[in-house]
Homo-oligomer: A and B are copies of this chain.
């Protein structure tokens, strides 16, 4: 299951390690979408919403190298490629979940506090 590590020597701090492996905001959004199940390239691009083809490709390659996602090629015409999470990728679910929960809570706070009928 485990492929090559991110760098030769990981940071001492576990949080820093995680941040390093997660990478950018794009990687997190890809992760979020693939947690719902496998997706094709174009589907992923659409579900993320605003990512360019070039960036999506490079982030997918990066995550594949790190053993987070799996790339399945179906030799058809037209070509079909499906991306899915590896076992390792799935282990990141709790992090995405905690982000989801916080984001939901935060958005509620915001909408309450900007609601004119918000109690004082």
In the complex, how many residues of chain A place their beta carbon closer than 8 angstroms to a beta carbon of chain B?
36
Per assembly, the copies of the chain total 2
Please give me the residue from chain B that is nearest to A27 by CB atom.
Answer: B19
Chain B residues with Cβ below 8 Å from A96 are 15
Q: Which of A93-119 contact B (CB under 8 A)?
A: 94-107, 109-110, 113-114
Of the candidates B21, B91, B103, B105, the one whose C-beta lies within 8 Å of that of A16 is B103
Interface: A45 (CB within 8 A): no
Interface: A77 (CB within 8 A): no
Please give the residue numbers on chain A whose beta carbons come within 8 Å of chain B beta carbons, in ascending order: 2, 5, 10, 13-21, 25, 28-29, 32, 91-92, 94-107, 109-110, 113-114
